[in-house]
Chain A
Amino acid sequence: MTPLLIAVVVAATNRGVLVARSGSIQMFDRTATNVIWSAEGLPTPQRIVASNDQAVIIDPLASQIRMIDLATGNGPTIRTGETPIDGAFIDGRLYLLERDARALERIGKDGTRASISVAADPAFLRQVNDRLYVYSRAAGVLQEITTSPFAIRRSANVAPFASDFEADGKNGYFAYPRGGKIGIVSLAMMKPAGNIDVGAVPTDLAFASTGTTLTARSIAVADPSAKRVWMVEGAQSFTQAIARGFLRGLIGLGLYGGRASEFPTGVDRVIIRGSRSYAYDSSSGTLYRFSRSKSSVVTKSVGPQAFSAGPGGLYVWDETVRRLQRLDSNE
């Protein structure tokens, strides 16, 4: 991210590609050439969350959201608690994380609202099936929230100050840039389940594979200091490890030596969609495509939210020509 990059958010959805810019929203088809509909937007959009038929444009600076019907572009603009940063749709309801209000708010289809308080600095919201997990970064608290009833079910004290949190069906993974490690929390037990030492400054995580009987789930870890994306195993149970013929325990390095991709600049975000892997350098706005050991530049000077990999390919907003481009078609 350089100061010259314009705030644009792109999200590839099942219905097309949403582009939110200051004051406007457009839905493009998957070729990125035809506008399906246009609508009024928010002043400083930062994030889009979409379900099959709905989306929400989130403006944390203005503390506003715009609900969107993906088919028509219609929907209300809503004032929220302070600094909404992320959301999730479950059963047509939006669950919105309002960081500086320290709240998770539920907004129903009919506009009814309910809210629960969460711990200090709730920086991440993740959905696992019908449950939500909120990681409060400064407090070092992971809270499990059920949607029916809408309530905090369980809490766990975890290490604070992670820069990313991801959750699969079994575990939560936390990136600790200062500590150079990935923390693991068992979601079944809601207890810390170990650490994985990774690189110098692990900053961002993405699930790279779900694992097989021979391999554990692998996680891609962006490390801007090492200018690499590390691939490491996630947690595996004792039984799984024995079944694979070797026991490395819950704490350990990656399965394969040298499984890291090198980049000309430090990358701090990693995005994996199916077989396609991307890494992003926020300092220069450079987006890379990478495989196990190779990387190549996809585009430069693009904002951190101005690209999206999803159904149809990789979409990038090019501010210099003010056009949406499809760079990596998978159709």
Chain B
Amino acid sequence: MKGLLLIAFAASTAFGQTTRIASDFEIQQMERQVARSTDFLSQLSGHLNLGDLRLTRSENALAHIEYAKALEIASNERLAARRASEITRYATATSYAALAAAKLGDASNAFELSEEAIRYTSDSAKSWNLYASAMSGLGRPAKAVAASRNAVAIAEREPDKLDLAIYKYSLASSLLELNQTAEAEKLLVDVVNSLRSETFAPLRRDVARTESFEIYSTARGDPAAYISILNRSQLRLARLYEDRADLAHAREQYANVLAGRSDDPTALAAMARLARSAEERERYYAEAFDANPFSLPLVRDYQQYLRGGQPPTAVLGASTGSQIRLALQQMQRGELPAAIAIINTVLQKFPDNDTLLLLRREIEERRSAGPVVFRPQPTASDLRAIIAAFNDNRLTPDQRSQLDRMTFMSTAVFDQGPPFETGRIDDVPFRFSEPMKFSGNFASKVPQRLTYRILGATQQNGADALLLEPLRLEVPR
């Protein structure tokens, strides 16, 4: 068995690049590995993988803890190796310490440690690949490219084609960050073709025999490395095709990813983006959210889709992914209390999740909606601010007194009736305390001019709403 094969991992903000599934299964596997093993490589790879997996789930605090443990383990190893006068072991541990420091965002330390390691092992492609990964993690793609080129140049003189594929993939990833797409594409095509060639047929048989499917950024052994690098390379290549609107080739690569791992969230979300029908899109989104409910790029992608106006299909099922998708639909419809209730429920199960905390903060900001201002013809944000002030019990006695005295006038659209009970003013829901009939000929679904008093805040189909006392209804002039 090999040592560790590091496959460049970047928790990119761009959707679908190298973010990957953060399944419970893989976390359990790594937690078991950390609990049962005592050797350096098992401990180190366990914590690095756990950190990366936590990061894909937006559990940033937990990821930080794992990376800090990895740094501590690597630092102890390098000192022990030095005491034992084992310089290659020292250099390897130093490289991993650099990587862990980079993942913790400590640029200065990561750079110094990388430089220290490479003094002793500049002939090692693996060391250069670790150097490149550390620089990539620090957002220094030009440095990562230089280090990766050294790794590839050394590995090309060696017989191990799997290692070479990994180093070429790392180089391509950094080139893409520098927008050097032509060379990156050539490298990725080479890597994918090589990995799918007869050269790797025995390894593929091993993978099939052992039913391996897990994907890790720090892989132990050839089968795990093969699965992971094939997954990553195809995803990268697919995204490259997608970005230049070569959708057929993009779909083909994403489909290849899903053939190897049917619940890859990045590929599923991409297939949703590239779907040919609304039904297909919803199905892929549902599967992507089930695979990784907390991917912020996936959340943003879905929100953008919802803003397109196409009514999404009803969310069925009680999975965490379904709950998040429902909450996002509710946010889009302005049903903020219902959305925040769901988010709070999921947060009880995943209290350290930064995506959930961000969504809750965004909902709260939308509900608070700025300072309270009373205008005879209020805007939508004025009305939302008044609702928020009622909900938070922030209205002063003077403001309450002023509100009791004031009448307001807005253009309202009733949901149904007559008699009229609920409707919207500039997208802000309202309801009367009881169904009302007005003198005259009025219909629902058309704008009317409503004069009213504001009694308080209520909820309407899960959304924040105003409780109004109607005074007069007129046909707009």
Contacts and interface: CB of A to CB of B under 8 A. Distances in A.
B108 A44 contact: yes
Interface residues of A, number: 40
Given A3-B109, A178-B123, A283-B79, A61 B140 contact: yes
B120 A203 contact: yes
Contacts of A7: 108, 112
Contacts of A120: 149-150, 153
B306 interface: no
A284 B108 contact: no
Interface of B: 71, 75, 78-79, 82-83, 85-87, 90, 97, 101, 106-109, 111-113, 116, 119-120, 122-123, 140, 142-143, 145-147, 149-150, 153-154
A161 interface: yes
B143 A83 contact: yes
Contacts of A203: 87, 119-120
A60 B113 contact: no
15 contacts: A3-B75, A3-B101, A3-B109, A82-B142, A82-B146, A83-B143, A102-B146, A123-B122, A137-B122, A177-B119, A178-B123, A200-B85, A224-B90, A225-B85, A227-B85
A227 B145 CA distance: 35
5 shortest interchain CB distances as A-B pairs: A100-B146, A161-B123, A283-B82, A225-B85, A82-B142
Given A99-B146, A200-B85, A268-B119, 10 more contacts: A3-B106, A7-B108, A100-B142, A100-B147, A120-B153, A121-B146, A138-B153, A163-B122, A203-B87, A203-B120
A2 B106 CA distance: 13
Contacts of A284: 79, 82
Contacts of A283: 78-79, 82, 90
A121 B142 contact: no
A201 B111 contact: no
Main secondary structure of the interface of B (DSSP, over half): helix
A193 interface: no
B426 to A, nearest CB: 49
A1 B75 contact: no
Interface string A181-201: 000000000000000000011
Most chain B CB within 10 A, of A2, A99, A100, is at: A100
A200 B88 CA distance: 12
A226 interface: yes
Given A83-B143, A121-B122, A283-B90, A3 B71 contact: yes
B143 A82 contact: yes
Nearest to B123: A161
Nearest to A176: B123
Nearest to A177: B120
A2 B72 CA distance: 11
B83 A138 contact: no
A22 B111 CA distance: 14
A329 to B, nearest CB: 29
A165 B75 CA distance: 28
Contacts of B85: 200, 224-227, 266
A224 B108 contact: no
Contact of A1 (B86, B107, B116): B116
Interface in A257-272: 265-266, 268
A160 interface: yes
B437 to A, nearest CB: 71
A226 B85 CA distance: 7
Contacts of A268: 119
A282 interface: yes
Contact of B82 (A46, A83, A138, A266): A266
Contacts of B82: 224, 265-266, 281, 283-284
